[in-house]
Amino acid sequence: MSGASTDPRLLRKAPPRPLRISWSDERFRNIVYQVLVVAAVLTLFGWLWSNTRYNLEVRRIATGWGFLSREAGLPIGEHLIDYDPSMSYFRALLVGVLNTLKVAIIGIVLATVLGTLLGVARLSRNWMLAKFAGAYVEIVRDLPLLLQLLFWYSLLQGLPGPRQAFNPVTGVFLSNRGLKLPYIQWEAAHSWALLAFVVGVVITYFYRRAARAKQMRDGQIRPIWPFALAAILGLPLLVWAALGAPFTPDVPELRGFNFRGGLDVSPEFFALLLGLTLYTAGFIAEIVRAGILAVSQGQWEAAQALGLPRGRVMNLIVLPQAMRVIIPPMTSQFLNITKNSSLAVAIGYQDIVSIANTTLNQTGQAIEGIAIIMLVYLTISLSISLFMNWYNKRIALVER
């Protein structure tokens, strides 16, 4: 057998068979089926397009995007950028997009934190804590989100007026007008300090990578937190102090029948954020719990055999491995928060859906209005998916 050899001619791939224009040829049938499907799809879209154009002409409905430059005359209570009703529809829709992004981003952060804590609590050895977390998850997930939004909004509307507002902490007031919080007036020094914070985060990231690379070479552990503390906190504070350290607090005060000053969180935004956060956190808790249970029990036993406390085992060993199971379904929950924010129209929060609906009612251009809503949610959803897929690849195990 040692002298046996394989003829290289036997390893060559057989030449492809020529395509026969015959129904008995499988490749020919596949091509015909694909051509028919593409033709059917194009015919359907062509029919829909011509039918839509005909109906619009018969009803004398104008089409196009020229309405975006016209005066909106639409009052919007909450806006992150300057806006008044004399501005264009484009500006009004931009305000709606920013309002949607605001509630989606804040909701994703809060729901992730709360859901992670609840998922860990469900696995706690404390019987009462585990049962409370389990009851919360079961109750919240079984109630429709729209019903929860209406409940929280009705509850906020039932709070006392500004004169009898709850004042748990100095400068914080909760009433039927919303939540009033103190904040610091933003100045140029704060913008530079924020930029220094971002630079500090980037520097810390690269320092951490370099420290880990050196540790892999020589096995010596290099502490990261002192450098991170200096870069992330010390650098912004140094920039802020160098620019005069401006600090002008704006504390809300009751004047007449309402509050003046401070940061205003409307009841609509508060109810929407509260409902989205509490509802989605219930699903994230189950995802986190499933990810932790997916980690082998031997990982726990090996870490505890080294004398590590349970908390450090969870933070340093179990959760990093569980993230590979958690991230894919977590992406779906982030998308759900973004899409479920469209229910804001039920409680009067002016997001992109609410403003686009008002726009199409005023202008009569329903196709463009619906297209704008679809484009906004599609763009946000694809952006979230791309980021989460990128992060999922970074933490995935490398196959050898």
For 181-199, give the DSSP string: E-EEPP-HHHHHHHHHHHH
Contact assessment for residue 282 and residue 132, using Cβ atoms and an 8 Å cutoff: no
The predicted pLDDT at position 290 comes to 92
Q: Tell me the CATH number at 307.
A: 1.10.3720.10
Per-residue confidence band for 304, with pLDDT thresholds at 50, 70 and 90: confident
5 pLDDT above the threshold of 60: no
Contacts of 258 (CB under 8 A, 6+ apart): 162, 177
Does a structural domain hold residue 300?
Answer: yes
Does a structural domain hold residue 388?
Answer: yes
User: Comparing 309 with 355, which gets the higher pLDDT?
Assistant: 355
Contact assessment for residue 288 and residue 116, using Cβ atoms and an 8 Å cutoff: yes
What integer is the mean pLDDT of 88-99?
93
The predicted pLDDT at position 337 comes to 94
What integer is the mean pLDDT of 79-98?
91
Q: How many CA atoms lie within 13 A of 94 on its CB side?
A: 13
Tokens (6 digits) for 22: 């015959």
Does a structural domain hold residue 203?
Answer: no
The predicted pLDDT at position 55 comes to 79
* 114-140 per-position pLDDT tens digit: 999 999 899 888 899 999 999 999 999
Does a structural domain hold residue 55?
Answer: no
- Can you name the residues that pair with 166 across neighbouring β-strands? 174
The predicted pLDDT at position 190 comes to 85
How far apart (Å, rounded) are the C-alpha atoms in residues 366 and 357? 8
Q: Is 308 helix (H, G, I), strand (E, B) or coil?
A: coil
Contacts of 296 (CB under 8 A, 6+ apart): none
Q: How many domains does the chain have?
A: 1
Q: Is 313 helix (H, G, I), strand (E, B) or coil?
A: helix
The predicted pLDDT at position 363 comes to 86
Does a structural domain hold residue 328?
Answer: yes
* 147-195 per-position pLDDT tens digit: 999 999 999 888 888 888 888 888 888 888 888 888 888 888 888 989 9
Q: Distance between alpha carbon 62 and the CA centroid of its chain, in Å?
A: 36
Q: What is the DSSP letter of 397?
A: P
Does a structural domain hold residue 168?
Answer: yes
Strand ranges, E, within 112-246: 173-175, 178-181, 183-184
Does a structural domain hold residue 84?
Answer: no
How far apart (Å, rounded) are the C-alpha atoms in residues 373 and 369? 6
The predicted pLDDT at position 8 comes to 55
Contact assessment for residue 391 and residue 324, using Cβ atoms and an 8 Å cutoff: no
Q: Distance between alpha carbon 84 and the CA centroid of its chain, in Å?
A: 28
Does a structural domain hold residue 193?
Answer: no
How far apart (Å, rounded) are the C-alpha atoms in residues 103 and 120? 25
Per-residue confidence band for 264, with pLDDT thresholds at 50, 70 and 90: confident
What integer is the mean pLDDT of 259-277?
89
**Domain interval for residue 112:** 89-185+248-395
Considering the chain, what percentage of its residues have pLDDT values greater than 70?
94
Per-residue confidence band for 1, with pLDDT thresholds at 50, 70 and 90: very low
386 pLDDT above the threshold of 70: yes
How far apart (Å, rounded) are the C-alpha atoms in residues 267 and 174? 10
The predicted pLDDT at position 262 comes to 80
Low-confidence winner among 24-38, 90-104, 297-311, 343-357 (lowest mean pLDDT): 297-311
How far apart (Å, rounded) are the C-alpha atoms in residues 314 and 293? 11
Per-residue confidence band for 20, with pLDDT thresholds at 50, 70 and 90: confident
329 pLDDT above the threshold of 50: yes
**Whole-number CA gyration radius for the chain:** 29
210 backbone dihedrals φ, ψ, rounded to 5°:
-65, -40
